[in-house]
Amino acid sequence: MLYQRSSALFEEAQKVIPGGVNSPVRAFKAVGGTPIFVTHAKGAYLYDVDGNKLLDYINSWGPMILGHAYPKVLAAVISKAEKGTSFGMPTEIETEIAALAVSMVPGIEKIRFVNSGTEACMSAIRLARGFTGRDKFIKFAGCYHGHSDSFLIQAGSGAVTFGAPNSPGVTKGTAKDTLLARYNDLDQVREMISQNEGEIAAIIIEPVAGNMGCIPPSSGFLEGLRTLCDEYGILLIFDEVMTGFRLAKGGAQEYYGVPADIVTFGKIIGGGLPVGAFAARKEIMNYLAPEGPVYQAGTLSGNPLAMAAGLAMLSELDQQPSIYHSINHKTEYLHNGLESVFLKKGIPVHINRVGSMISVHFTEKNVIDFETAAMAAQGASFNRFFHGMLNNGIYLPPSAYESWFICDALTITDIDRTIDSCEQVVKRW
């Protein structure tokens, strides 16, 4: 496929936008080549400025669970836009979507809407600190909770360690209250709590990691975290920006049967528009201003366009639970087809899948945490695979560290085409 127009646009963008993009993964740094500029999308397909039609496996990094330009979501946004796009005042639709979200997700009684997943996670940590009166929290290497300073921390040496900043601009003072643990390592978490007893406000985790590829929790891991949090008075925060309303109507809490104290949302809850949210039981949420002492605010929070898109999306998922069976079946079908192709060719891969999230890791070993994901990402295999599939009109996440997201607009015919393309690519391996 030709991408001459995209290349020209990228050159122009770099003159006025840092790196030519407004979010780093879009720059194709991880895979090489030139990012693709999109004109529009419909269903399971993207259309770019060079006239190419691409089968989409990122779906705006998750929110397009029903496919691009879903008619009911579009209609809701257009109707709302005709009445004004922002007021900075309460609107009835905020209460409508809040009530629906609370009815769908177990264990939450109140919800606060914000403008991004980053803002939701940042606010959840502040709320946990305010509620518990403690400063420290545990996060897991490879889990991404947005670009707030507290979360941009890399692991240090040793099993029990304070974090160190891994982005300039993040101070050591901020980093000292962030403890880094290995994903799926319950013993390390237990040791960290023992070493910092009475100081930890929260444990925040992606219940299914989506930023080191798709990595599921090992058996008993989430349950073990819940037990530790109960024992030591720590709040368990599920970052469900990716998994919320995707794994099930009630997200990972419903899927795994493990309750969290605070849950953060994004992606699907806005129907593709910029939005985030965090939620918990009343006694925690009542600590938020204006009811409580923990301050959080946003001029565009509860924006009517985002609320309309989110309400339309959640209503569809609430009224058609068969959608989850459909997308999970399609993802399983894709998994089996790709795995068969790689096995026949003798190319070692490990494919992780949970619900409609999936990722291909070029390794013989199980990928269970950031370290094993990083080892699998070494070498040129994923980059070759990415560009081979792209040349066949299949758009995958341009990084080995990202989950793929399946939408319900994807057909079995589309998946068969994807599997056939994979076979063509590995024949040239």
How many other CB atoms sit within 10 Å of the CB of residue 313? 27
Q: At what angle do helices 412-427 and 381-391 cross, to 10 degrees?
A: 120
Q: Is 239 a catalytic residue?
A: yes
Task: Check 80, 136, 249, 267 and give the catalytic one.
Answer: 267
Peptide bond between residue 290 and the one before it cis (omega within 30 degrees of 0): yes
- Apex CA 206: angle with CA 153 and CA 282, to 5°? 105
Task: Check 3, 57, 70, 144 and give the catalytic one.
Answer: 144
Q: Are 335 and 357 in contact (CB under 8 A)?
A: no
Question: How many Å is the maximal CA-CA distance in the chain?
Answer: 63
Measured CA to CA, the distance from residue 118 to residue 103 in angstroms comes to 24
Q: Which residues contact 214 (CB under 8 A, 6 or more apart)?
A: 208, 352, 353, 354, 357, 358, 359, 403, 404
Measured CA to CA, the distance from residue 7 to residue 12 in angstroms comes to 9
End-to-end CA distance of the chain: 19
Task: Check 48, 239, 261, 369 and give the catalytic one.
Answer: 239
β-sheet with 38-42: strand ranges across: 38-42, 45-48, 53-56, 394-395
- Apex CA 226: angle with CA 178 and CA 111, to 5°? 75
User: Catalytic residue positions?
Assistant: 144, 239, 267
